[in-house]
Amino acid sequence: MLKSLIMVFQSFIGVNAADKPTNILLVTVDDMNWDSVGAFGNNIKDITPHIDRIASEGTKYKRAYVAASNCAPSRVAIQTGLYPQQSGARGFFYINDDKTPTIATELKANGFFTGVINKSTDTNPSPDTNKYWDFRSGFNKVAKYSAKGFGEKSADFFSQVKQNKQPFYLVVNIADPHKPNFNDPKATNKGADVHAPSRIIAESEVTIPSFYLSFRQ
């Protein structure tokens, strides 16, 4: 799998000096089901208009599956091209592997300015973050639910890219819709509700899967 990933990213890097490298932005979203997006069948009006626009202009993958059911092993799998049982990254801990190449190390070695916003510790196989990222930025507690905060940190990254005049690889790990949810007592107690969603979806707009109803009964 890693060889396949390297072949794909070689097309971004360029096979010779005359080729212009392509900038790469990778966005991950915590705890969001695939059909929560309008482009993949969600019937709630305007729930993901920007993602839907990008999907309409690009390629949709209908047989893409996560390598693990929790986030950290999935992120390491994306970066290394290895399944959790191959890399050893099965949970929320470092495997202290600084020898396995990742997308970030390969692109960085080829002149890319690399960056990660949020959850940088869940994205690397080893704790040596400088090995992977030229730019690293996180959040304190509930600020990770702030859309404005992600925008500001991304702007900081792109400012450095412009100054350095390098192609870039940026990974943005968005916390929403990870629990606690808006207007949930846990969210209120933690102060997360100060970052209100752009629109509150009414219960009548949501179709509850039949398997969930059966489970609750």
Residue 109, φ and ψ in degrees, nearest 5: -65, -20
Global pTM value? 0.84
Is a pLDDT exceeding 70 seen at residue 18?
no
CATH code of 44's domain? 3.40.720.10
Predicted pLDDT of residue 169: 97
DSSP state letter for 201:
P
Domain encompassing residue 95: 24-57+65-212
Residue 9 in domain: no
Residue 176 in domain: yes
Residue 1 in domain: no
Contact 120, 90 (CB under 8 A): no
- List pLDDT tens digits, range 149-189: 999 999 999 999 999 999 999 999 998 888 888 888 888 88
Helix (H) or strand (E) holding 170: strand 168-174
Predicted pLDDT of residue 81: 92
CA–CA gap between residue 82 and residue 88 (Å, rounded): 9
CA–CA gap between residue 162 and residue 61 (Å, rounded): 31
- List pLDDT tens digits, range 102-133: 999 999 999 999 999 998 888 888 888 889 99
Residue 2 in domain: no
Sign of CA dihedral 68, 69, 75, 76: negative
Residue 4 in domain: no
- List pLDDT tens digits, range 50-99: 999 999 999 998 888 888 888 889 999 999 999 999 888 887 777 777 88
CA–CA gap between residue 5 and residue 169 (Å, rounded): 14
Residue 76 in domain: yes
State mean pLDDT over 36-49: 91
Predicted pLDDT of residue 213: 63
Residue 6 in domain: no
Contact 76, 123 (CB under 8 A): yes
Contact 186, 39 (CB under 8 A): no
Helix (H) or strand (E) holding 215: helix 210-216
Q: First vs last Cα of the chain: how many Å apart?
A: 42
Sign of CA dihedral 149, 153, 155, 156: positive
Residue 13 in domain: no
Is a pLDDT exceeding 70 seen at residue 7?
no
Q: For residue 116, which amino acid is it?
A: V
Average pLDDT of the chain to the nearest whole number: 85
Q: How many domains does the chain have?
A: 1
Contact 5, 169 (CB under 8 A): no
State mean pLDDT over 24-41: 90
Predicted pLDDT of residue 8: 47
- List pLDDT tens digits, range 76-89: 999 999 999 988 88
